[in-house]
Structure formats: C-alpha cells, structure tokens
Amino acid sequence: MNVIEFKDLTKYYGNVKGCENVNINIKEGEIFGFIGPNGAGKSTTIRTMLSLIYPTSGSITVFGKDAIEFGHEIRKDIGYLPSEIFYYDKMKVIDLLLYSASFYDHDCTSKIYELAEIMELNLDRRIQDLSYGNKKKVGIVQGLLHSPKLIILDEPTSGLDPLMQQKFFNLIAEENKKGATVFFSSHILSEVQQLCDRVAIIKDGEIVSIEDVKSLQKDNYKKFTICGDKLNHGRFNIDGVTELKEAENEVSFFYKGDVNLMVKLLGTLSLSNVLIEEPTLEEIFMHYYE
Amino acid sequence: MNIIKRELRSNLKALIIWVSVLSLIILVASTEFAVYHDNPDLIAAFEGFEDMFAALGGSIANIGTPEGFLSLMSIYLYLPASIYGALLGSLIISKEEKDRTAEYLFTLPVTRNQVLRSKIIAAIFYQIVFVTVIILASILIFYRYDLDENFYSFMRHMFVALTMTSLIFMSIGMLLASYLEQYKRSGSLTLGLLIGTYMLNMLIEVVEELEFLKYVVPFQYFTAENMINSNIEFIFVFLSLLIITSCLSGVFIFYKKRDLYI
C-alpha cells in the first residue's frame, strides 16, 4: 500500500517554479530519502503535502485521502520536523509540548517524558532561551510525541551534534520498526545512505531519478584509481567511463559496465597501484546536480 | 478550545496594561471634573468655544454633569478602544506568519477554519472585556458625584457604542491581516484608516455639508452627544453588524484560500 502518492504535483509561486511534475509513490513502512541541493524544491514539496501551501496543479494523496481536502484528518497521523524550528517564544518547553499533545485524541504525556529523556532535553526552560540545537530537540519530541504513522523530516540533523544525530537516527529507525513510514529530506547524502531504502533526487524542482539506495551503490558504479607511469594515453576513454581524470602518474574515473572488460584493459598495463572502491552517494549524485 | 485558551493567555498582558492605563486616565480626568461640577460661571465662560467642543463629540451645555463631562472626553474612550481592537485583530491573525509559527500550528491536526474561529472568539471576548472594564471603571470613578439615571443610561449606550465601534476596527484589522500579501503592515494600515476616519469625524461635526459622509465613518454611528440625549439608532447598529460580519466572512474566505507565508 502506498502511504504517499504525488501525482504530477506542480507548484509555482507566481512565475517562480517551486516544483514541477513530481511523481512519487512511497510505500508503507519504508524510509524514503529526498535528496537535492538547497532551493531544489524539497521544502515546497513537503509544504504542499501538509497543505501549508496549495498545489498549482496535480494532487497528493496521503493514507489514501486527498491531502488538501482531508488535511486535518491525515495530519493526526503525521509527525513533521521542519528545517527551521519556530515556536511561541514565551512558552516553556513542557507547556508547548503539552499544548501540542492536546490536539491529539490519545494521551501522549508518558511519550513526551520518554522522548525528552532520550534527547536529553530540559523541559522547564523557555523556548526563547534555547539554542538552535536545543530547539531542534524540542522539534523532534514534538514531531514524535503522538507516535505518528508517517514521519516527515526536513533537513532534521542541522544543529545537532554527532552524538545527538546518532540518537535521533536510532529513534527514527525504532519508530520505523514499529511500522512508521519515514519521508526524509536532506542535502547530506551520507545520512540518507545510512537510513534510507529508496531515494528520489530532485533538481530545479523536478525529480531526476528514483533509485534503490543499495542497488545504486552495488550494481552501478565502481570508482577506479590507477597509479603507474605514463598513463595519460587516452585508452580509458571507453563506454561506461565517466568523470575521467587523467594525469601523468594517476588516473581516476567511474566505471559502469562489464568489469571483465575493464580488468582486461588493466591487464595490458604495468601498474604500481590500483584501487577499486564503492563510490559514495555524493560521488554518484554529483553528475545529477551538474 | 485549546487554541482559544492559548490566545487568551498570550493576549492577557496587553489587555491588562491597556485597561489599567485607560482607567488611570479616566481617574485623572475625573479630578478635573470636580472643577466644573456645580460651577455654572465657569461653564458660561466656555460658551464661545461651542464648535470646538462639538468637534470633540460633545456639547458644552452638559459639562457640569458627569455624563456630559464624559461625553466631552469620549475621544479618550473611542480612540483607545478602537486602536486596541485594530491592533488585536490584525496581530492575532498575522502573528503566526510574522513569528513563523504558522508552520507549527497549521501542521497540527486542525483546519484553518478552526484556528480562525478560535482566534475570532478570543478576540471578540477580550474586546468586550475591555469595554466592560472601562465602563465599570468609569461608573466607579464617578460614583462620588451622586449619579442619576441619566448617567447610567448614558453608560449603557456607551457600552453598545464602544463595543460596536471597536469591533468594526478589530474585524477590519483581521480582514487586512488575512488578505494582504504584506500582512505585516495590516496593523499600521488599520490604524491609518482609524486615524483617517477620526479626522473625517471631526470635520463632519464642524462642516455641515459633509453630513452625508457619516455612513462611512464609524465614529459618527454613535456620537457621545447622541448617547446622552437620544437613543441608539437601529440603522447604525445594523450597519456596524453588517461591516463586522462581512469583514469576518472575508477573513474565512481569504485566509483559507491562500498559501501561508512561511
């Protein structure tokens, strides 16, 4: 079953394109990554899904219901962590969390304390006295306190130290194990690599590609680095080679295709060193961005 | 219900400050009244300034009575009540976007209509509390001057007059805050409109040819002088309610349709 279905979603702000023809289906229980540089349209897509803004054309279905018409119903089961956190400055953290909890039908008090303890959040401070990272922690607790079935994260890790990031990832993984679907938007690929099953790449408001994270890494590209003498003879310029960088003593490139062919080619050369690696997602995605 | 409570709490401090200061002003003014009270010679000396007093919304003939004196200083009641309403109305709508909390509030499981409804209820309630406290404070402050039925009937009329006038500006503030792309300017725009219509009001009192304009100037609907001598005119109550309900309907229509500014 699909938890989220974007159908030809297009959003223009006047003449400015937010996103165009976005088509994504997200299955129940999966952790779906949403990758793109700043300004690519990630937040636009998310805000449309939450009916903070309305689509120019196309539709979004969440839990099988139209996201605009039944917005308040589907939001009962959505936990949202925005990229920048703004709350009522004068409120205490605990009052804000209890206020948020009052909008849901079931009692969330014990979950609030449980999450606050995991994230090491001081509940008695005022929002205005909190640092950026601490506000983010409040956001995490607020987004998860009602045990949502769909968790939407918009660049969630900014402001968190590495230790907190890890705790946060564990929390998300745990919620996912309990059955929650996760929509994870980020421009940091390593964290997507760590957490996600599938990933959509967005560029200039349009989806460039939707791929399986594992197969993307395993089956596709290999990163070759070759050392030796007088290697800049152009013989590596064959089908399947990209990002070719040739120098006198070192050549590096990505290769996608039959490895036997490449091994044969390497066998004809006298080399001092060879390195064959899995490329990082960053390296894989660079050519989508260019 | 939780949004109403939240709005009442976050706007309480401003309300207390407003009514305290205003009550203090009335208290100070009441000490000046002691001079006019039962002092016909002084009142006779003012007679040459009839026009000026008319512009302020009262008549010099009444200055010796508590209600007459209050009607002369009614500008200090109408203006603060309306300014409070204008600011409350525009701010209660625009603050979620201004403080960027819209992305929090509207991702909770509530409809925009529910939020608007709660905010409107809270604002109207505080506006009525504001007027009620001011009227009660006036009665209390002038209590030492043997108040008669004329005074109490004036106060009853003033209650309706102040409530209607301030609610008009409150709903205009709300409408501008929900309609304007530059929602941050809704407060100052409403205040500009308020001052503008008030100036016009003073002009109408002095220049008779401008009489016809009184239907577009809320301050003309319930002039303090009329509140003493005659009754509240039904047409103006109707007109006020018409303006208030159309503005508030506009709030629902415009705010629901548009993208939130985040």
User: Quick check: A133 pLDDT over 70?
Assistant: yes
Looking at the fold, whether A149 and A278 belong to one and the same domain comes out as no
Q: Measured between CA atoms, how close is A52 to chain B, in angstroms?
A: 6
Estimate to the nearest angstrom the gap between the alpha carbon of B65 and the chain centroid: 24
A180: nearest Cα among A30, A13, A24: A30
Looking at the fold, whether A225 and A191 belong to one and the same domain comes out as no
- Chain B residue numbers with beta carbons less than 8 Å from the beta carbon of A103 are 2, 108-110
Which of A10, A13, A56, A88 has the highest number of chain B CBs within 10 A, making it the mutation to test binding with B? A88
- Report the pLDDT value the prediction gives residue B69, as an integer from 0 to 100: 86
One-letter amino acid of A26: I
User: Quick check: A244 pLDDT over 70?
Assistant: yes
Looking at the fold, whether A14 and A114 belong to one and the same domain comes out as yes
A-side interface with B, Cβ within 8 Å?
13, 47, 50-54, 71-73, 75-76, 78, 80, 82, 84, 86-90, 99-100, 102-104, 142
- Report the pLDDT value the prediction gives residue A224, as an integer from 0 to 100: 87
Q: Do A80 and B107 touch (CB under 8 A)?
A: yes
Question: Which structure tokens are listed for B83?
Answer: 């300014």
Question: Which structure tokens are listed for B72?
Answer: 């002369």
Q: Which of A216, A240, A259 is a domain's end point?
A: A216
**Residue B61: is it exposed, middle or buried by C-beta count within 10 angstroms (0-12/13-18/19+)?**
middle
Looking at the fold, whether A197 and A273 belong to one and the same domain comes out as no
- Chain A residue numbers with beta carbons less than 8 Å from the beta carbon of B10 are 88, 90
Q: What share of chain B is helix, strand, coil (3-state, %, to 5)?
A: 80, 0, 20
Which of B2, B11, B13, B104 has the highest number of chain A CBs within 10 A, making it the mutation to test binding with A? B104
Q: Do B109 and A86 touch (CB under 8 A)?
A: no
Rounded to whole angstroms, what are the CA distances from B97 to A14, A148, B208?
19, 25, 45
Please, are residues A50 and A215 in contact by the beta-carbon 8 Å criterion? no
Q: What letter would DSSP give residue A77?
A: G
Write out pLDDT tens, residues B54-63. 666 666 667 7
Q: Which of A182, A200, A216 is a domain's end point?
A: A216
Looking at the fold, whether A211 and A269 belong to one and the same domain comes out as no
B56: nearest Cα among B167, B202, B162: B202
- Report the pLDDT value the prediction gives residue A288, as an integer from 0 to 100: 62
3 state DSSP class of A224: strand
Estimate to the nearest angstrom the gap between the alpha carbon of A20 and the chain centroid: 19
Q: How many CB atoms lie within 10 A of CB B126?
A: 22
Which is more confident, B261 or B244? B244
One-letter amino acid of B233: E
For A96, name the nearest residue in chain B, comparing CA atoms only: B6
Looking at the fold, whether A63 and A23 belong to one and the same domain comes out as yes
**Residue B43: is it exposed, middle or buried by C-beta count within 10 angstroms (0-12/13-18/19+)?**
middle
- Report the pLDDT value the prediction gives residue A173, as an integer from 0 to 100: 94
Segment A228-237 long-range contacts (CB within 8 Å, at least 24 positions apart): A228/A269, A228/A270, A228/A271, A228/A272, A228/A273, A229/A270, A229/A272, A231/A269, A235/A265, A236/A265
Element (H, E) at A250: strand A250-255
Rounded CA separation B174/A266 (Å): 74
Q: Average pLDDT, stretch A10-17?
A: 93
- Chain B residue numbers with beta carbons less than 8 Å from the beta carbon of A48 are none
User: Quick check: A290 pLDDT over 60?
Assistant: no
Q: Which of A200, A216, A232 is a domain's end point?
A: A216
| Span of A61-65, A237-241, B166-170, B239-243 with lowest mean pLDDT | A237-241
Q: How many CB atoms lie within 10 A of CB A162?
A: 8
Looking at the fold, whether A50 and A189 belong to one and the same domain comes out as yes
Q: Measured between CA atoms, how close is A136 to chain B, in angstroms?
A: 13
Write out pLDDT tens, residues A187-230. 887 788 888 989 998 888 999 888 888 776 665 678 888 888 87
- Chain B residue numbers with beta carbons less than 8 Å from the beta carbon of A75 are 107-110
User: Quick check: A289 pLDDT over 60?
Assistant: no
B-side interface with A, Cβ within 8 Å?
2, 6, 10, 99-104, 106-111, 114, 257, 259-260, 262
> Cβ contacts of residue A64 below 8 Å, gap of 6+?
A1
- Chain B residue numbers with beta carbons less than 8 Å from the beta carbon of A82 are 103-104, 107
Per-residue pLDDT band for B91 (boundaries 50, 70, 90) equals: very high
Which of A45, A49, A52 has the highest number of chain B CBs within 10 A, making it the mutation to test binding with B? A52
- Report the pLDDT value the prediction gives residue A18, as an integer from 0 to 100: 93
HSE (side-chain half, CA atoms, 13 Å) at A117: 6
- Report the pLDDT value the prediction gives residue A284, as an integer from 0 to 100: 67
For A48, name the nearest residue in chain B, comparing CA atoms only: B259
For B109, name the nearest residue in chain A, comparing CA atoms only: A72
Q: How many CB atoms lie within 10 A of CB B9?
A: 14
Which residues share a beta bridge with A279?
Answer: none
- Chain B residue numbers with beta carbons less than 8 Å from the beta carbon of A106 are none
Give the CATH number, domain containing residue A133.
3.40.50.300
Question: Which structure tokens are listed for A247?
Answer: 């120098």
- Chain B residue numbers with beta carbons less than 8 Å from the beta carbon of A18 are none
Write out pLDDT tens, residues A170-194. 999 999 999 999 999 998 877 888 8
Looking at the fold, whether A39 and A161 belong to one and the same domain comes out as yes
Nearest to A103 among B108, B257, B262 (CB): B108
Nearest to A82 among B2, B6, B103 (CB): B103
For A12, name the nearest residue in chain B, comparing CA atoms only: B259
- Chain B residue numbers with beta carbons less than 8 Å from the beta carbon of A99 are 2, 6
Looking at the fold, whether A234 and A105 belong to one and the same domain comes out as no
Write out pLDDT tens, residues A250-277. 888 888 888 888 888 888 888 888 898 8
Estimate to the nearest angstrom the gap between the alpha carbon of B230 and the chain centroid: 21
Question: Which structure tokens are listed for A211?
Answer: 């791929």
Query: Look-up: residue for tokens 């205490």?
Result: A92
- Chain A residue numbers with beta carbons less than 8 Å from the beta carbon of B259 are 13, 52-54
Looking at the fold, whether A136 and A256 belong to one and the same domain comes out as no
- Report the pLDDT value the prediction gives residue B181, as an integer from 0 to 100: 82
Looking at the fold, whether A124 and A231 belong to one and the same domain comes out as no
Give start and end residues of each alpha helix (H) in B73-210: 75-98, 102-105, 112-141, 149-179, 186-206
Rounded to 10°, the helix B112-141/B234-257 angle is 150
Q: Average pLDDT, stretch A44-60?
A: 95
Per-residue pLDDT band for A282 (boundaries 50, 70, 90) equals: low
Q: Do B111 and A99 touch (CB under 8 A)?
A: no
Looking at the fold, whether A173 and A243 belong to one and the same domain comes out as no
Rounded CA separation A67/A72 (Å): 9
Element (H, E) at A23: strand A16-27
Per the structure, the count of domains in chain A is: 2
Q: Average pLDDT, stretch A132-155?
A: 95
Question: What is the domain range of residue A67?
Answer: 2-216
Please, are residues B201 and B115 in contact by the beta-carbon 8 Å criterion? no
- Report the pLDDT value the prediction gives residue B196, as an integer from 0 to 100: 92
B38: left (phi over 0), alpha (psi -120 to 50) or beta: left
- Report the pLDDT value the prediction gives residue B129, as an integer from 0 to 100: 98
A235: nearest Cα among A271, A275, A285, A283: A271
Please provide the average confidence, as pLDDT, over all residues in chain B: 89
Q: Do A73 and B110 touch (CB under 8 A)?
A: no
> Cβ contacts of residue A178 below 8 Å, gap of 6+?
A147
Rounded CA separation A219/B212 (Å): 83
Question: Which structure tokens are listed for B161?
Answer: 């007059």
Q: What is the torsion angle, in degrees rounded to the nearest 10, for the CA atoms of residue A152, residue A154, residue A155 and residue A160?
A: -60
Write out pLDDT tens, residues B97-131. 999 999 999 999 999 999 999 999 999 999 999 99
